[in-house]
Amino acid sequence: MDNSGKSVFGLDQNVAAGLAYLPICLCHLIVSIGIIATDKTNKLPRFHAFQSLMLSASMIVAYIVMMVVGAVIMVVAGAADVPALAFLAIIAYVIFLLVILLLVIGLIISCIKGFQGQIFKLPIIGNLADKWSN
C-alpha cells in the first residue's frame, strides 16, 4: 500500500490516524468511517481507523456485559435475601472499571502513536486491524 499523500478530508496521514481515536463529538466515528470508505491506498490511517472502531466496539460490549452481569447478581442477591451476594456485584463493577481503564489507556496510547505516524498494535484487536486494513 502507498504511504504517501493526503488521507480523507485532505488531512495528512498522521492527523487522520490520530483523529480516528479522538472521542469528542463522535469525531472518531466520522473520521474512521470516512477513512475506511474513501481511503484505499494509505495503510497508516486505514489501520488506525479499523483499530479505533474495534476498540470502541469492545468498550460497548464490555459495558453491556458488565451491566447484565451486575443486574443478574443484584437480582439473585435480592431474591435470595443474602446481602453477601451483593458484594459480588461490587467486585464485578470493580473488574469492569479496571477493564474500561485499560481500554482508555489503550485509546490514549493509540491516539498518540497515530498522531506520531506510527503503527501501534493493541494486544488482541491490533492483528485484526492489520489484516483488515490491507
Asked if residues 7 and 39 have their Cβ atoms less than 8 Å apart, the reply is: yes
At 94-125, the pLDDT tens digits run 998 999 899 889 999 999 999 999 999 999 89
Confirm whether 61 is domain-assigned: yes
What's the Rg (C-alpha) of the chain?
19
Does residue 3 carry a pLDDT above 60? no
83 found inside a domain: yes
pLDDT value of residue 46: 93
Q: Is the pLDDT of residue 1 over 60?
A: no
**CA 120: distance to chain centroid?**
13
In a domain, 2, yes or no: no
Q: Give the pLDDT of residue 78.
A: 82
Question: What are the beta bridge partners of residue 50?
Answer: none
Place of cell 443486574: 71
DSSP H helical ranges for 1-134? 13-19, 27-38, 43-80, 83-116, 125-133
- Asked, for residue 47, whether it belongs to a domain, the answer is yes
Q: How many domains does the chain have?
A: 1
2 band by pLDDT with thresholds 50, 70 and 90: low
pTM for this one? 0.84
In a domain, 1, yes or no: no
Note down the domain range covering 105: 8-126
Report if residue 31 sits inside a domain: yes
Average pLDDT for 84-103? 86
For residue 15, being part of any structural domain is answered with yes
pLDDT digits (tens, 9 = 90+) for 17-68: 999 998 888 888 988 999 999 988 889 999 999 999 999 999 899 889 988 9
CB 73 within 8 A of CB 91: no
Please check whether residue 91 is in contact with residue 33, taking contact to mean a CB–CB distance below 8 angstroms. no
Give the model's pLDDT for residue 131.
Answer: 93
* Rounded CA separation 92/106 (Å): 21
Model confidence at 4, in pLDDT bands (50, 70, 90)?
low
Residue-level pLDDT at 51: 94
